[in-house]
A = this chain, B = another copy of it.
């Protein structure tokens, strides 16, 4: 395996996606983020919006939601989320076979694990800075962006734990973890590109 990968896990609103794109650009390799969802959609035959949304929910959420989900969807005996996970895993492993690249989110760090030449990055920032960013960059208009952030973090954490059985955001699971709020996006890009 000679392809060299970078995986970026990130808190919502921390600028992890931007850091992924800019690092990839600097290194002249592709970055997969929303493109990953397109690939998963192609493989699975499911709608992109559905994948983008469901890819963040662990199967065992609210019992009522699960009861409905279980009755509504089944692929080869798998619930929708488990089916999506198998497709996602395949798409990410295929990418690693094909080319060196940056992958943002989707538990790529866990999927590529220690069997690939992979720099595992985690990007975070404090709640206030992230709230400011999602209002500025994404034009979030909700009354409490902080509440939305906490909800998103909680979902990503539960999803990550469910499928990887390890803790999201624990320093030991990454080669480098950076506070983009204090260090700035540009410095994070430089550090990651230099390490690569």
Using a CB–CB cutoff of 8 Å, the interface residues on chain A facing chain B are: 11, 122, 124, 126, 169-172, 174-179, 182-183, 187, 191, 194-195
Contact = CB atoms under 8 A, between A and B. Distances in A.
Contact of A195 (B169, B171, B183): B183
Given A169-B170, A170-B169, A179 B175 contact: yes
B172 A176 contact: no
A175 B183 contact: yes
Contacts of A175: 178-179, 182-183
Contact of A171 (B126, B169, B183, B187): B169
A188 to B, nearest CB: 10
Contacts of A169: 170-172
Given A187-B195, A191-B191, A122 B171 contact: yes
A122 B124 CA distance: 14
Nearest to A169: B171
A171 B174 CA distance: 9
A177 B121 CA distance: 10
A194 B183 CA distance: 12
A126 to B, nearest CB: 8
12 contacts: A122-B171, A122-B177, A169-B171, A170-B170, A171-B174, A174-B179, A175-B178, A176-B176, A176-B177, A176-B179, A176-B183, A191-B194
Nearest to A173: B171
A53 to B, nearest CB: 25
Contacts of A194: 191
A170 B168 CA distance: 9
B176 A174 contact: no
